[in-house]
Amino acid sequence: MRRRTALSMLLLGAFDLAVARNKAAMKEFAVHFPNHLLKFALPEEMVSWVPPAGVPDYFDPAEHLFTRGFQTLFTTMVDFNGPFWMGARGSLFVNSDVSQLEPEYRERVDSIEALEKYLGWWVRDERAIWRINRIDLNGTPVLVRSAGDSLQIVTMPLDENLFLQFSLRIDHVAGKSSNWLKRAQSMRDAIKTSISLTRK
């Protein structure tokens, strides 16, 4: 009985240490916009999954066509693997984009209050799914749109027609252990709390 207790404590200690290391091993990024500076960090495990183009150092919306209503800044992900015979138990996906207002919307979104009003209008047909909360991240007021526990979208105004989004999604593989979930949530929260957008 004592051996089992000692082994359990050892395993829990190792897991907590892994989580702590995961929190510490973050790479910082900065993206300059014409009037803003975006800063955030990604866990080292996710950096290698960033596409070859990488995270841009500078992004001027005037130089891009928003033919689909948005422009992707970057996307990345990481799998949480079990034993080799089981494969991935789940994944964490991160996507950031600059989005444009729907053409039929006639108001500005250059404040957090105006953006909150727009998001309510934008998801008007899916209000039962989404929950929108206003929080502060590193001195930046942001909106967090969530659908259950698996998807969180952090949204911030850029100018009267554009807003910035970070989509953080945890995917479960059906029928497999969820022991990895604590680590995925810890990584997601570390990314979210690293985000800041300041005006130049």
Domain count, the chain: 1
Q: What is the 3-state secondary structure (H, E, C) of the chain?
A: CHHHHHHHHHHHHHHHHHHHHHHHCEEEEEEECCCEEEEEEEEHHHHCCCCCCCCCCECCHHHCCCCCCEEEEEEEEEEEECCCCCCEEEEEEEEEEEEECCCCCCCCCCCHHHHHHHHHHHCHHHCCCCEEEEEEECCEEEEEEEECCCEEEEEEECCCCEEEEEEEEEEECCCCCCCCHHHHHHHHHHHHHHCEEEEC
pLDDT: which is higher, 16 or 52: 52
What is the span of the domain harbouring residue 143?
2-199
Model confidence pLDDT, tens digit, residues 83-131: 665 667 889 999 999 999 999 999 999 999 999 999 999 988 887 789 9
Model confidence pLDDT, tens digit, residues 44-72: 989 887 876 789 999 999 999 898 899 99
